[in-house]
């Protein structure tokens, strides 16, 4: 079994944290100047590890092993949310770097090939999963090309202009080399509280949940809040509030323990205390690992919209905000490699579990066998400056990931399996 270097691992994580450090968290939005600086540093560290490293034409950092393969691709992302944590995505990228180094330092594994990737814009500053979609191409090719031409960040900057400013426009884009990679492996923080609550140190991911993002619009009549009797109001805001309560009941009747739904944004027009809202928008997201349940939730929501619209006095309409994301099952054989590695390193302290968050692995899984592994998040907090994981769990997780990586590659190359 290869042995990782804890000090080197934690040192690289903390150095990467310094790029955009803001209090305990990080602000490192995709293709911002500080993100480009971080990518250049990362490419340098990959080169130091003996990988052939490049920053490609969309901003992916890709480190290719000089071994012929078959190779294991390990990666995640290093861009952050606007108020991001220091480990979301970053953990998996630095794990990949450390695993490549650890395998190279062992006589038993130095011949094994590990490629490492930091995918650009997983968080959707310009276009979500841009880097992994660019890498696999195929059905994503047209949407990536369109994003490069037209996508903007929240400040209105075009993606094309951001690439130009970073000196990346026109560079070749890293592409999936068919036949090279035996699998894709993405270690990650859990971003939830299940592992911590149950006392487990490792989560072996079974499924990445599917997701729907929709808008429900309520169209009433704007009017004076003091002179319009309640009996004749067409109050879009009141209709929205009543709708949420009914929607919550409908979803609870369909849900299991892993089903989640969130009203993440409500817009009232004109948004004045003295005006009855004439329009109200509800922005909704729901997630589940069961495709049938997702369809049932969509149907229940549509039926509720029809009911409220027919009843009046406020019109109600449903619109899709983004393309539906289907649940993605992680490769069963790869799950067994991760589970065996976890049992060898930390017996009895691992568990199978779904991922409630979206990850680049769901993009890669359509083209390569894919797996994921989680380490605990303190307090279950992520996408926030206070996101954190104990050093002992970071180190332990990397050792498990290294053992799993060696096992996957040794089986692929006909060598003995790590036990």
pLDDT value at residue 405 = 98
Question: 415 or 237: whose pLDDT is higher?
Answer: 237
The C-alpha atoms of residue 415 and residue 419 are separated, in whole angstroms, by 12
Q: Are residues 143 and 162 located together in one domain of the fold?
A: yes
Per-residue pLDDT reduced to its tens digit, 132-145: 999 999 999 999 99
Least confident of 42-46, 180-184, 407-411, 413-417: 413-417
Estimate to the nearest angstrom the gap between the alpha carbon of 195 and the chain centroid. 18
Percent of the chain with pLDDT over 90: 97
Question: For residues 371 and 334, what is the distance between their CA atoms, to the nearest angstrom?
Answer: 6
Same domain, 11 and 106: yes
Residues 204 and 217 in one domain: no
Asked if residue 68 belongs to a domain, the reply is yes
Report the C-alpha gap between 91 and 254 in whole angstroms: 35
| Per-chain mean pLDDT for the chain | 96
Mean pLDDT, to the nearest integer, of 372-379?
98
Instruction: Give the tens place of pLDDT for each residue, 265-304.
Output: 999 999 999 999 999 999 999 999 999 999 999 999 999 9
Domain count, the chain: 2
Domain assignment present for residue 417? The answer is no
Same domain, 256 and 131: no
Tell me the average pLDDT across 217-221.
Answer: 98
Collapse the DSSP code of 21 into the 3-class scheme (helix H, G, I; strand E, B; otherwise coil) and give the result.
Answer: strand
In-domain check, residue 419:
no
pLDDT-based confidence at 161, cuts 50/70/90? very high
Residues 91 and 156 in one domain: yes
Of 6-15, 94-103, 316-325, 401-410, the least confident: 316-325
CATH number at residue 177: 3.40.630.10
Mean per-residue pLDDT, 57-81? 97
User: What is the arithmetic mean of pLDDT over 303-318?
Assistant: 98
Task: Answer yes or no: do 50 and 64 share one domain.
Answer: yes
pLDDT class of 418 with cuts at 50, 70, 90: very low
Closest by CA to 210, choosing from 373, 368, 354, 367, is 354
At 89, the pLDDT band (50, 70, 90 cuts) reads very high
pTM flag (> 0.85): yes
Share of the chain above pLDDT 70, in %: 99
> Which pLDDT value is given to residue 69?
81
**Angle, helices 90-104/6-17, rounded to nearest 10 degrees:** 150
pLDDT at 116 over 80: yes
Instruction: Give the pLDDT of residue 2.
Output: 93
Which residue range(s) make up the domain with 352?
6-209+327-412
Residue 143 shares a structural domain with residue 132? yes
| Amino acid 362: pLDDT | 96
What was the pLDDT predicted at 323? 83
pLDDT, average across residues 153-169? 96
> Pick from 305, 320, 335: which residue ends a domain?
320
Per-residue confidence (pLDDT) for residue 419, from 0 to 100: 33
The CATH number for 310's domain is 3.30.70.360
Q: Which two tokens stand for residue 375?
A: 């380490």
> Which of 240, 3, 257, 181 has the alpha carbon at shortest distance from 106?
3
Query: Is the torsion defined by CA of 167, 168, 171, 174 positive or negative?
Result: positive
Q: What is the pLDDT of residue 254?
A: 98
Instruction: Calculate mean pLDDT across residues 334-348.
Output: 98
Residue 397 to residue 189: CA distance in whole angstroms: 9
Q: Which of 267, 286, 320 represents a domain boundary (last residue)?
A: 320
- 381 and 406, same structural domain? yes
Q: Tell me the C-alpha distance between 274 and 271, whole Å.
A: 9
The shares of helix, strand and coil residues in the chain, as percent rounded to the nearest 5, are 40, 25, 40
What is the CB neighbour count within 10 angstroms for residue 320?
11
How does strand 223-224 pair with strand 328-329? unpaired
pLDDT of 417 higher than 60: no
Provide the pLDDT for residue 415: 66
Residue 416 has pLDDT above 70, yes or no: no
Is residue 97 located within the same domain as residue 34?
yes
């Amino acid at each position: 079994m290869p042995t990782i270097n804890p000090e080197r691992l934690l040192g690289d994580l903390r150095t990467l944290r310094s790029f955009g450090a803001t209090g305990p968290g990080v602000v490192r939005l995709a293709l911002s100047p500080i993100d480009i600086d971080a990518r250049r540093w990362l490419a340098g560290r990959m080169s130091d590890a003996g990988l052939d490293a490049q920053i490609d034409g969309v901003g992916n950092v890709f480190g290719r092993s000089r071994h012929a393969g078959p190779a294991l691709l390990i990666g995640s992302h290093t861009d952050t949310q606007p108020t991001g944590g220091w480990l979301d995505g970053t953990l998996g990228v630095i794990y990949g770097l450390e695993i490549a180094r650890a395998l190279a330092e062992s006589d038993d594994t130095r011949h094994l090939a590990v490629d490492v990737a930091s995918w650009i814009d997983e968080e959707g500053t310009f276009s979500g999963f841009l880097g992994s979609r660019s890498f696999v191409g195929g059905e994503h090719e047209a949407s990536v090309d369109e994003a490069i031409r037209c996508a903007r960040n929240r400040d209105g900057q075009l993606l094309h202009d951001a690439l130009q400013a970073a000196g990346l426009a026109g560079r070749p884009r890293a592409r999936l080399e068919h036949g090279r990679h035996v699998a894709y492996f993405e270690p990650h923080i859990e971003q939830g509280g299940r592992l911590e609550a149950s006392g487990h140190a490792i989560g072996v991911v079974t499924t990445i949940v599917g997701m729907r993002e929709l808008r429900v619009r309520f169209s009433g009549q704007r009017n004076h809040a003091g002179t319009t009797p309640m009996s004749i109001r067409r109050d879009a805001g009141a209709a929205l509030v009543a709708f949420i309560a009914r929607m919550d009941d409908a979803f609870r009747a369909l849900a299991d323990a892993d089903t989640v739904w969130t009203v993440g944004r409500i817009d009232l027009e004109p948004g004045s205390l003295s005006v009855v809202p004439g329009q109200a928008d509800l922005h909704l997201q729901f997630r589940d690992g069961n495709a049938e349940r997702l369809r049932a939730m969509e149907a229940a929501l549509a039926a509720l919209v029809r009911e409220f619209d027919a009843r009046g006095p406020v019109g109600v309409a449903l619109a899709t905000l983004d393309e539906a994301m289907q649940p993605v099952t992680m490769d069963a054989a790869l799950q067994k490699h991760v589970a065996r590695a976890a049992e060898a390193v930390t017996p009895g302290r691992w568990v199978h579990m779904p991922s409630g968050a979206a990850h680049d692995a769901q993009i890669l899984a359509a083209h390569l066998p894919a797996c994921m592994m989680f380490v605990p998040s303190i307090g279950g907090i992520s996408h926030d400056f206070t996101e954190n994981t104990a050093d002992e769990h970071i180190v332990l997780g990397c050792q498990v990931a290294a053992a799993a990586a060696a096992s996957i590659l040794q089986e692929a190359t006909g060598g003995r399996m790590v036990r």
